[in-house]
A and B are shown apart, each in its own frame.
Chain A
Amino acid sequence: MPPDRPGAPGGASWSLMASRVLVIEDEAPVRAMVRLILEDEGFEVIEAADGEEGLERFASESPDLVLVDLRLPGTHGFEVCRALRASSDVPIIILTAQVDSHDVVAGLEAGADDYVTKPFVAKELAARIRAALRRSTAVVGGDSPAVHLIGSIEIREEAGVVRKDGTVLHLTKTEFRLLCEFADHAGLVLSREQLLERVWGYDYLGDSRLVDAHVRRLRTKIEDDPANPRLLRTVRGFGYKMTRPGDDGDDGA
């Protein structure tokens, strides 16, 4: 995996306190090395050896980010992701041994924000963690309007709130960033590569399954009929596009 984009803020530039990372990994040597690497990078590490312990420690320590191995004895990594997502929008990065297996997609569907393959490069692991933390803390906005109204969806970028028909939706920070990216460019086709770069901080070679899985998750939350999306359209061979209802009837279906 390529290193993070240049211009990423350093370890302590966005927060005075060291970010706390919960590492759920059953292999003690790997866990120990991850601890050393992350501590060298300025993170505080909380360890858990299996899924149950991970969920307990999450509840008691409330870490800023969770790094979870997919293959855990007992509670599987997917289940950990799902259990975490049931109550929290904490950034989750999965560790997987197999890039092209369906594990990655299943983990993303279960709610993970990103993934890192084993064996990983220390710098890359740290970069992925930083990028995820940045998404969860950075305020979106800038020159774009802070409030979008798209169909029944209301997006308040600065407040980090999304409402559908007035009801607040629970989005993860990555889903929120992705939705804002679409809303800021409503009516324009965004390629997977553009989204990978803007939301995740990957370069052109990033894994577009990240985008696809997140778009699917986003659709289940914002679309009336996720199987037949009206707002977040797929533009075959190009990417995705946010359509305001009534803007352009049936194109791109």
Chain B
Amino acid sequence: MATTGRKGRGGLGLRARGTVAFALLALVLSASLAVLTYSIARSYLLDQRESLALRQAFINARATNEFLRADDPDVPDLLAALPSSSGSFVVLRADDEWFALSVGTGRAVLPESLIAATDDGAAARQRAVIGGDPALAVGIPLPAADAAYFEVFPYDELEKTLATLGYSLLAAATITTILGALVGSYASRRVLRPLRGFTVGAAELARGNFATRLTAPGDKDLAPIATSFNEMAEALQKRLEREARFASDVTHELRTPLTALSAAVEVLDRRADERSRPVVDVLRTQVRHFQQLVLDLLEISRFDAGAVDLTAEQVSTTEFFASVLRGLQKESVPLEISDDAPATFRLDKRRVERVVANLVENADRYAGGPTSVQVSGADGVLRIVVEDEGPGIPPDEVDAVFERFHRSTAVSSDSERGTGLGLALVTEHAALHGGRAWVEARVPTGARFVVEIAEPPL
């Protein structure tokens, strides 16, 4: 059967494509959601942080203002007393003197533009990188005290929060994408499951199980496929049954007159007198030939109709072939069973008996009889060779001799003609056994007809 295959032209199967599509969709959705969430959260948190910072800065500035207007204020005390939140620190200019609570947090860390703006007498704020970290710097002029209040609010905690949020969102997006892929894979499998039923059904049909029917899937898009499949299987089954019945009817119809005819000839043969003897002899040989022709035709038509079964059974190789030759009254032909031949073999006794009979008959007719029958084989294969020392088969006829009704150029030594189907049937019987038949030249003269059959599984 041609494999149309589960894989599409593009290389990816439907299921893989479904999986990828779902994964991509999940990725895009979850990523945009994450980005949106992150940016909203970020701006909200920043805004909140800034308004808190500003409020704190203004409160602190007012307190500083009050403090500075007092006499002889102790600025370091003031700085230490001011409330600080989450790492913020204060820088104070009073009378051109700069104060800070710790080294490294003095004037130098403040952006010049902020100092300038504050000097101009307006409160200002600015985002800047201070001490290597992003921070918000707020400057509030205190004109009454000839001072300026600066407070720096580092963002590092906020950054930490945002980083945590970012990582969480990234993880969520990843998980969502993986889930998307799983859902995609599962969904495509669900979608493909009815198709899998079709595949199995078609394979069953191809294997010869013509009673195979598909149960219609619940999906109304797929149901018509199942229906047409079943109609096709039904038509095929009916046709085969019709052909098999026809073959069976023909067999019966032909065998009945043949039976009466051959029985009558036998009775006649026993009772024939001198005068009628030659006529009875002609009658006997012709009826026998006619009978064989009909039987061969019926046999080959059963092959054509596909109405053949292999009835394999275990036989003892030696006993089987000895019996075949005995049945053919060819006990005098040497039977050579080689050492490598399997001692027992599973085969269809009737068919293999016909194979040997037809080859022996062929040798009788064209080559003065078989000179040996050889059996060898190995590993589940049995090889049967029938040799003769006749004129051999011309090289251009080695294939043609196995064709139906092939008329050989060789001269038949037998007064009885063959049916012209013997070797064709040998091929069919061998093929049914998973084997083949051919002929090769025998050295120095003659022909070797070789049939190989495979042992069917138990």
Interface residues of A (CB under 8 A from B): 2, 27, 29-30, 32-34, 36-37, 40, 71, 97-101, 118-122, 192-193, 203-205, 207-209, 236-238
Determine the chain B residues whose CB is within 8 A of the CB of A204 once the complex forms.
315, 319-320, 322-323
Determine the chain B residues whose CB is within 8 A of the CB of A119 once the complex forms.
255, 258-259, 261-263, 291
**What is the bound-complex CA distance between A121 and B322, given in angstroms?**
22
Checking B248, B252, B311, B327 against A205 with a beta-carbon cut-off of 8 angstroms, the contacting residue is B327
Q: Does B243 contact A (CB under 8 A)?
A: no
Is the beta-carbon distance between B319 and A193 smaller than 8 angstroms?
yes
Rounded to whole Å, the gap between the CB of B379 and the closest CB of chain A is 17
- 9 chain-A/chain-B pairs, Cβ below 8 angstroms: A2-B323, A29-B257, A29-B260, A33-B260, A98-B251, A98-B252, A203-B326, A204-B323, A205-B320
**What is the bound-complex CA distance between A89 and B174, given in angstroms?**
82
**What is the bound-complex CA distance between A119 and B295, given in angstroms?**
9
Q: Does B353 contact A (CB under 8 A)?
A: yes
Rounded to whole Å, the gap between the CB of B90 and the closest CB of chain A is 96
Determine the chain A residues whose CB is within 8 A of the CB of B264 once the complex forms.
29, 33, 36
**What is the bound-complex CA distance between A36 and B266, given in angstroms?**
10
Q: Does B313 contact A (CB under 8 A)?
A: yes
Interface residues of B (CB under 8 A from A): 248, 251-252, 255-264, 266-267, 270, 291, 302, 308-309, 311, 313-316, 319-320, 322-324, 326-327, 344, 346, 349-350, 353, 458
Determine the chain B residues whose CB is within 8 A of the CB of A40 once the complex forms.
267, 270
Determine the chain A residues whose CB is within 8 A of the CB of B302 once the complex forms.
100
**What is the bound-complex CA distance between A30 and B251, given in angstroms?**
15
Is the beta-carbon distance between A238 and B251 smaller than 8 angstroms?
no
Is the beta-carbon distance between A120 and B350 smaller than 8 angstroms?
no
Determine the chain A residues whose CB is within 8 A of the CB of B259 once the complex forms.
27, 30, 33, 118-120
Rounded to whole Å, the gap between the CB of A93 and the closest CB of chain B is 15
Is the beta-carbon distance between B313 and A37 smaller than 8 angstroms?
no
Is the beta-carbon distance between A36 and B327 smaller than 8 angstroms?
no
* Given contacts A118-B255, A205-B349, A237-B314, A30 and B323 within 8 Å (CB-CB): no
Is the beta-carbon distance between A27 and B256 smaller than 8 angstroms?
yes
Main secondary structure of the interface of B (DSSP, over half): helix
Is the beta-carbon distance between B248 and A101 smaller than 8 angstroms?
yes
* Given contacts A30-B256, A203-B327, A37 and B320 within 8 Å (CB-CB): no
Determine the chain A residues whose CB is within 8 A of the CB of B258 once the complex forms.
118-119
Checking B261, B323, B458 against A236 with a beta-carbon cut-off of 8 angstroms, the contacting residue is B458
**What is the bound-complex CA distance between A193 and B263, given in angstroms?**
29
Is the beta-carbon distance between B266 and A122 smaller than 8 angstroms?
yes
**Shortest beta-carbon contacts, A-B, top 8:** A33-B263, A204-B323, A29-B260, A119-B259, A97-B255, A118-B259, A122-B266, A118-B255
Closest partner residue, chain A, to B257 (CB atom): A29
Closest partner residue, chain A, to B266 (CB atom): A122
**What is the bound-complex CA distance between A207 and B259, given in angstroms?**
21
**What is the bound-complex CA distance between A103 and B228, given in angstroms?**
34
20 new A-B contacts at CB < 8 Å, known A100-B350, A203-B323: A27-B260, A29-B264, A36-B263, A97-B251, A97-B255, A118-B255, A118-B256, A119-B255, A119-B258, A119-B259, A119-B261, A122-B266, A193-B315, A204-B322, A205-B320, A205-B327, A207-B349, A208-B313, A208-B349, A237-B346
**What is the bound-complex CA distance between A238 and B343, given in angstroms?**
13
* Best-surrounded residue of A33, A34, A204, A209 (most CB of chain B within 10 A): A204
Is the beta-carbon distance between A37 and B252 smaller than 8 angstroms?
no
**What is the bound-complex CA distance between A193 and B315, given in angstroms?**
9
Determine the chain B residues whose CB is within 8 A of the CB of A27 once the complex forms.
256, 259-260
Determine the chain B residues whose CB is within 8 A of the CB of A98 once the complex forms.
248, 251-252
Determine the chain A residues whose CB is within 8 A of the CB of B257 once the complex forms.
29
Checking A36, A118, A192 against B313 with a beta-carbon cut-off of 8 angstroms, the contacting residue is A192
Is the beta-carbon distance between A97 and B252 smaller than 8 angstroms?
yes
Is the beta-carbon distance between B319 and A100 smaller than 8 angstroms?
no
Rounded to whole Å, the gap between the CB of A13 and the closest CB of chain B is 21
Closest partner residue, chain A, to B326 (CB atom): A203
Determine the chain A residues whose CB is within 8 A of the CB of B322 once the complex forms.
204
Determine the chain A residues whose CB is within 8 A of the CB of B251 once the complex forms.
97-98
**What is the bound-complex CA distance between A119 and B313, given in angstroms?**
25
Determine the chain B residues whose CB is within 8 A of the CB of A205 once the complex forms.
320, 323-324, 327, 349-350, 353
**What is the bound-complex CA distance between A214 and B326, given in angstroms?**
27
* Given contacts A97-B256, A100-B309, A100-B350, A30 and B263 within 8 Å (CB-CB): yes
